Amino acid sequence: MTPDQFAADTEQFAADTEPFRRELLAHCYRMLGSVHDAEDLVQETYLRAWRGYGEFESRSSVRTWLYRIATNTCLNALEHSSRRMLPSGLGSPETDPLRPRAAADASATWLEPVPDVLTAADPAAIVTAREGLRLALIASLQYLPAMQRAVLILRDVLGFPAVEVAGLLGTSTAAVKSALQRARARLDQLGLAADDMSEPEDPRARALLNEYIAAFEKSDSVALERLLHADATLEATPWRTWFAGNVTCLPFLRAQVLGPAGTWRMLPTGANGQPAAASYYRDDEGRYQAYGILVLTVTAGRISRVVVFGDPGLVPLFGFPPAL
């Protein structure tokens, strides 16, 4: 191959495949529950696609071909990984808000949020992306065996026909239908995906996020109580301790989290199609150091769930600095 031919092939490959990069990232994230792992496997998908590009005979669309590579790359990765969790998946909620938080076992592998800016390809795709990326759905997918997870995502989230899914996975249409039935039954049994399958986020979500940020930065627990549902849940990695209901959430925040006004700074963003914020904690020198990302679930005009991902390494992925 001459340099000119190589350059032409590279340009054509990019033109054919780059339009699908964001949706492939969303797909790998759904499969893996980790934005870091998803980015790595998208890179691997494109490397494998480039190596096989000369043999691609357009028997399927480029999009379908890329999904075949990406899905099987994810399935291979899942053979060597454990289920990603949230604290609420590790046991019952804590009933004593004054008890010190319990750290999870060192082997715990946590779910991660995904920035909206990485997965929304265009305005027309945003609503669809929201529905397929909500935290409750991603968490629930983690309870499914890898093949059932792939089938449910390809069929129910992405809308591929059963016969096409069978081709993507190298199995029969009957096997796809059976796996989908088992996956749906398992999610119904767990009752974990109900919030994600409801209507898109409340129009007041952005306002509620701003009010939550203001209340948290001012250490105003009275304002927080107005914003939270009475049965709201609160959980934060890397702790296994989590709370259900304001009767425990608010005393815990007051006693163990809020501190004096100005202890926290938060910057609004979006994650998993939900309102979110980058969180910073003031150090002894008065600088604000990245703490992690919090994601809110809004139901009926109030906040029904707060999930805090206590990982400073997530903050730069959302376009924010490690310190303020």
Strands (E), 29-179: none
How many structural domains is the chain composed of?
A: 2
Asked if the structure places residue 123 within a domain, the reply is no
Asked if the structure places residue 275 within a domain, the reply is yes
Asked if the structure places residue 187 within a domain, the reply is no
What is the residue-wise DSSP string for 260-304?
Answer: STTSEEEEEEEETTEEEEEEEEE-TTSPEEEEEEEEEEEETTEEE
Asked if the structure places residue 15 within a domain, the reply is yes
| The pLDDT of residue 200 | 42
| The pLDDT of residue 7 | 66
Q: What is the CATH number of the domain that holds 298?
A: 3.10.450.50
Asked if the structure places residue 230 within a domain, the reply is yes
**In this structure, which amino acid lies at residue 193?**
A
| The pLDDT of residue 77 | 96
Q: What is the pTM of this model?
A: 0.91
Last residue of a domain, which of 49, 66, 81? 81
* Segments forming the whole domain that contains residue 225: 205-318
**Cβ neighbours for 46, distance < 8 A, ≥ 6 positions apart:** 17, 21
Last residue of a domain, which of 81, 108, 143? 81
Q: What is the pLDDT along the chain (324 residues), one digit of tens a residue?
A: 677 666 667 888 899 899 999 999 999 999 999 999 999 999 999 999 999 887 776 667 899 999 999 999 999 999 988 889 999 999 999 999 999 999 888 888 999 999 998 987 654 455 555 668 899 999 999 999 999 999 999 999 999 999 999 999 999 999 999 999 999 999 988 875 444 433 445 577 889 999 999 999 999 999 999 999 999 999 999 999 999 999 999 999 999 999 999 999 999 999 998 999 999 999 999 999 999 999 999 988 899 999 999 999 999 999 999 999
| The pLDDT of residue 299 | 87
Last residue of a domain, which of 53, 81, 109? 81
Asked if the structure places residue 301 within a domain, the reply is yes
Residue for token pair 């107005």? 226
**Cβ neighbours for 219, distance < 8 A, ≥ 6 positions apart:** 258, 259, 260, 261, 263
Q: What is the CATH number of the domain that holds 5?
A: 1.10.1740.10
